[in-house]
Structure 1
């Protein structure tokens, strides 16, 4: 009876834990989750003028592969950086991205369309030229930046937890197409957190009866979401850095004094002293 009691208790706890975990899992498809960085991106103050930006290739430059046994077949970083960057630029409302990664497909479709117009090219608008060229890539993926854990066991009953932190680094550069001058360059880093919590019982409840039970949960932060967040952060830092350097301007100069998002990113990149001096100068200029 004592063994049966312990088995019922553990099964009930495991069932409740599993039920709560499964309730959080949605089987239906949904939009990719957005983090705080994305909402910083879409809530930036409006620019003086929207810039046309070209993104040819924003690729994985790490050369990093997944651990065994799939290391020869799968990379550790998703190869979708160009798509994430184009979406971030579009959502920021500071840039109008033009298609360059699939440019050959676009030109083929325009040829088909021109053929339907009996070769009259005047009826087909010209492709938009870009003002800014976005370059860069995923430049580093570092594993096991930090690892740790803790656990305890007493009389065969115990629990433990452990974690691991990886790191993704992204570089983004804005180049003036007319002159080739580098307008701004930023490098951002995003951590990838993996965590495991487990508990178990290994105990003789009677001379001939052994009770053994285990329960646990593992959480691995999706690398694709981390790549998207790092790119979104790079776009915000790029916009803030360009405003700071005068490469592009705000529609309302006063918003540079009061906007909390810009001040947060300026503080991170420039420091408190430089930010205070900048805000004071802008306040005097707008009086």
Structure 2
């Protein structure tokens, strides 16, 4: 019995040595893979002319900070770069042409510098800025923790294993406003669950009166919150495209071409 315990302890130590350490688990930078939502949107027929849209800000409106045990934390629970995520998603959708508004002051400064520099004979004046047809507003309005929690475990004679999980939830709102009239054309809300999981196994056994053998292995998996926010934004943009087509605010290029051909034949 004692030999079997020692053997199990040695195997546990060997297993721990196989766990990759952070300094050895180095990966090269890579492009973020395109989600199924964006792949499905790009597979659809695009518009004849992309719609110019302006995004001034898409902020974190939750006020949530990361929960920490026994310490004060000023790290926010969700990303503060949602505006950049939304602009990238609009570009990838091919339905919209975002115009720069978040860094508008920087853009105006550079244009002013360009105008003041002496021009060569063939140089042209700086053209006017592109006007936006739609204004996209909204933000991350909710981040709820511990929506679902649970787990299971078993232990017998000092040998045990357990699994625990937790689900959080992030919610965003996105609305499209007509710049000419100020009318809110549509509003979309999406929600994404954030999943975290922990699995562990351990051994605690007295091998003799004064000797205690203890071993533990395990791992945790935490879904990155920023990717969950990105997926919620992508779904909101895809839903907005479908809603706009359904409500007649815009139409695919194939439909425009068909209507033009019908008008010419009549």
Report TM bin, short chain: 0.7 to 0.9
Q: Deviation of residue 31 (structure 1)?
A: 1.8
Q: Deviation of residue 70 (structure 1)?
A: 6.0
* CA 170–89 in structure 1, closer or farther in 2 if over 3 Å, else same: same
Q: Tell me which residue corresponds to 1:159.
A: 161
Q: Tell me which residue corresponds to 1:245.
A: 247
Q: Deviation of residue 207 (structure 1)?
A: 4.1
Q: Tell me which residue corresponds to 2:261.
A: none
* CA 118–22 in structure 1, closer or farther in 2 if over 3 Å, else same: closer
**182-191 or 72-81, which moves further after superposition?**
72-81
Counterpart-to-counterpart distance in 1, 2:12 and 2:72: 38
1:146 aligns with 2:133: no
| Greater helix share, structure number | 1
* CA 168–198 in structure 1, closer or farther in 2 if over 3 Å, else same: same
Q: Tell me which residue corresponds to 2:262.
A: none
Q: Secondary structure at the match of 1:147?
A: strand
RMSD: 2.5
Normalised TM-score (structure 2): 0.87
Alignment of 1:230-241 (within 5 A): 230-241=232-243
Task: Give unpaired runs (5+ residues) of structure 1.
Answer: 255-287
Q: Secondary structure at the match of 2:233?
A: helix
Q: Does the 8 Å CA contact 1:163/1:195 hold for their aligned counterparts? A: yes
Normalised TM-score (structure 1): 0.81
Q: Tell me which residue corresponds to 1:27.
A: 27
Aligned partner (choices 187, 190, 194) of residue 188 of structure 1: 190
Counterpart-to-counterpart distance in 2, 1:40 and 1:22: 36
Alignment of 1:21-60 (within 5 A): 25-60=25-60
Q: Deviation of residue 60 (structure 1)?
A: 0.7
* CA 155–72 in structure 1, closer or farther in 2 if over 3 Å, else same: closer
Q: Deviation of residue 194 (structure 1)?
A: 0.9
